[in-house]
Amino acid sequence: MKRLVPLLLAASLIAAAGDPPKDPKKGPPGKEKLFTGNVGAGTVAAPGAEIASGWSWTLDADAVAAKDPIVADAKGHFEKSMPWKDKKTFLAMDAGHKMGAAMEIKEGELAKPVTFRLVPMVRVKMKVKSRDAGFPTDGIKVEVKLDGAERIGGGTTTADGLAILVPPGKYKLRFDKEGWQPRSFEVVVPAGKPEFVGPDAELVPSILASHVGQALPEWHIADAIGIPKDTKLASFRGKWVILLFWRDGCPSCRGWGIPNLVKFHDKHAAWKDRLQIVAFHNKDAKTAGELTDFLAKSEGIAWSPLQLPFPIVIDSPDPSTVDEWGPGEFPYGVLLDAEGKLVAKGALEDLEKRLAQEFK
């Protein structure tokens, strides 16, 4: 296998700079556009109404607030210049959070004022269940999206489940937290009722949370660099294994996650006969070629996936190892013993301490 280019100075400077580098996958921000319009219920204006994409529900449905909302004036009129690219999704609520409207707005629709026509809000409640009673379901983050559009906000589950306040419509709710397999549910909220009980959300603990001390199931991969793409996780039995979960759209992964893994490899060259390192990329990249091309065009990258001293594997889209195993964040390290049992997880420094105890 080819060797990493010797200088990682640029990546080190990125990691030390404090502010994360710009993510080239997101592209440049859109140009400033004037977003203007009116908020009202029928012919009645809604003074003090708030329009935002970042609403959050905490504890219960009524505890709702918006981050940096646009506030309508005494006549229900609003206007604000903001970066705009393609489209945005907004939820508007009156000052008392009793009426609301949600809609996606495309860039071409900004040429004339936008009208939010408020209707009575609905309190949506859902029970959240776990297949394993040993995993409490409170504190799980929930992303709320208007169906077919982007997010309008997020909530957090409590011991009683989830409660949010939204106007009638179709929504997609994504439950996601370390320790759980991410799940999405479609909820159709009917009009004419102040409260609606949605379907139960049954969640599954992640494999990394539920298999500590146990052998992990076989991984699912779509492609690989440095090893055959049909390589099985079980083929490494007899060696300890470090898996570092990462994605190319993660500045921390590119800036210091992978470079630090290389430094770890070099520092512990004496362990190479007993330890296998694998960089496990998520399903954002479909193939090794797509991943390589993207990184080659990225700024501030002082390494190439073709020159790393350990292999890269790329997650399968379905079934997805990352979704089933649930690392929850990137970069994220996992340590398996020679029998394939999960013995440690988290920061690379923590895995290093465990290995030092085993290999002394």
Q: What are phi and psi of 209, to 5 degrees?
A: -85, -35
Q: Is 255 found in the same domain as 142? A: no
Same domain, 182 and 197: yes
pLDDT of residue 19 exceeding 90 = no
Kindly report the average pLDDT of the chain as a whole number: 90
The size of the chain, in residues, is 360
Q: Which residue, of 205, 225, 244, is where some domain finishes?
A: 205
What local confidence, expressed as pLDDT, does residue 5 receive? 37
- What average pLDDT does this structure show over 337-348? 96
In the predicted model, is pLDDT for residue 29 greater than 80? no
Q: Residue 16: inside a domain, yes or no?
A: no
11, pLDDT greater than 80: no
pLDDT single digits (tens) 65-79? 998 999 999 999 999
With respect to residue 9, please indicate whether it lies within any of the assigned structural domains. no
- Strand partners of residue 227: none
pLDDT score of 3 more than 90: no
Q: What CATH code is carried by the domain that includes residue 289? A: 3.40.30.10
- Beta pairing, strands 221-225 & 312-315: antiparallel
Q: Over 80: is that where the pLDDT of 146 sits?
A: yes
CATH of the domain at 30: 2.60.40.1120
Q: Which domain holds residue 36?
A: 25-205
Three-class secondary structure of residue 87 per DSSP:
strand
Mean pLDDT for the stretch of residues 86-93: 96
Q: Residues 192, 222: one domain? A: no
- Report pLDDT for 6: 37
Q: DSSP readout, 113-174?
A: -EEEE-EE-EEEEE-EEESSTTS--TT-EEEEEETTS-EEEEEE-BTTBEEEEE-SEEEEEE
pLDDT of amino acid 177: 87
Can you say how many angstroms the Cα of residue 93 is from the centroid of all Cα atoms in its chain?
Answer: 27
7 domain residue, yes or no = no
As a whole number of angstroms, the distance between CA 112 and CA 175 comes to 36
Whether residue 61 is found in the same domain as residue 174: yes
